[in-house]
Chain A
Amino acid sequence: MPDAEKGAAGEEPAPDAKPELEQLRELLVGHEQRELRELRERFDRAEVTAEDVQRVLPDAVLLRSRSDDQLSEALTPTIEGAIEGSVRRNPQALADAIFPVIGPAIRKSIREAMSSLLESINRTVEHSLSPTGIRWRLEAARTGRPFAEIVLKHSLVYRIEQVFLIHAETALLLEHVVAPTVATTDPEMVSSMLGAIQDFVSDSFSAGERDIQTVEFGELTLQVASGPHALVACVVRGISPPTLREEMQQTVEDIHASRSKDLRVFGGDVAPFVMTRPSLQGLLVEQRAEKEKKKNRVGPAVLMVAVPVVVLGLAIWAFNSYHASRRWSGALDALLEEPGVVVIEADLDDGVHRIRGLRDAAARDPLELLQQHGIAAETVDARWEPYHALEPSLVVRRARTALAPPDSVQMELRGETLVVWGRADHAWIERAEAEARFVVGVTALDLSTLIDEDAEAARSRAGNLSNRSISFAPGSARLDYSYSRTELSRFCDSIDELVDTALFAGLRVRVVVHGGKAANEDDPRLAAARAEAVREWFEERYFGATPAHDLVVSGSEAVSWDRNGVLLGIELVDRDGAIVPPR
Chain B
Amino acid sequence: MIRKKICMLGSYAVGKTSLVQRFVEDVFSDRYETTIGVRILKKQLQVEGADVTLMLWDLHGDDEFQRVRPSYLRGASGYLLVADGTRADTLEKVAELHDFAGSHLGDVPFLLLINKRDLEGEWEVDGEMEERLKRLGWSIHHTSARSGDGVEAAFSELAHRMVRG
Q: Taking beta carbons and an 8 Å cutoff, which residues of A are in contact with B?
A: 167, 169-173, 186, 188-189, 192-193, 196-197, 199-200, 202-203, 267-271, 503, 543-544, 547, 549-550, 575
Contact = CB atoms under 8 A, between A and B. Distances in A.
Interface of B: 1-5, 18, 27-29, 32, 35-38, 40, 42, 52-53, 55, 57, 69, 71-72, 74-77, 146, 162-163, 165
Contact of B2 (A193, A269, A503): A269
B163 to A, nearest CB: 8
B1 A271 contact: yes
Contacts, number: 75
B74 A200 contact: no
Nearest to B15: A544
A517 to B, nearest CB: 30
B69 A203 contact: yes
Given A197-B36, A200-B36, A549-B29, 4 more contacts: A171-B5, A172-B4, A188-B53, A199-B69
For the residues of B in contact with A, the DSSP-based class is mixed
Given A170-B5, A268-B3, A549-B28, A199 B74 contact: yes
24 contacts: A170-B74, A170-B77, A171-B5, A172-B3, A186-B42, A192-B5, A197-B36, A199-B36, A199-B71, A199-B72, A199-B74, A200-B37, A203-B71, A267-B77, A267-B165, A268-B2, A268-B4, A268-B52, A269-B2, A270-B1, A503-B29, A544-B18, A544-B146, A549-B28
A299 B29 CA distance: 41
Contacts of B28: 549, 575
A269 B165 CA distance: 12
B108 to A, nearest CB: 11
B162 to A, nearest CB: 7
Contacts of A173: 3
Contacts of A202: 71
Nearest to B28: A549
A10 to B, nearest CB: 84
Contacts of B162: 268
A270 B3 contact: yes
Nearest to A273: B1
A188 B32 contact: no
Nearest to A271: B1
Contacts of A575: 28
Contacts of B163: 268
B69 A188 contact: no
A199 B75 CA distance: 12
A171 B75 CA distance: 8
Contacts of B38: 196, 199-200
Nearest to A267: B165
Given A171-B75, A188-B53, A193 B37 contact: no
A167 B165 contact: no
A296 to B, nearest CB: 38
A424 B95 CA distance: 52
A303 B155 CA distance: 57
Given A172-B3, A189-B42, A196-B36, A167 B75 contact: yes
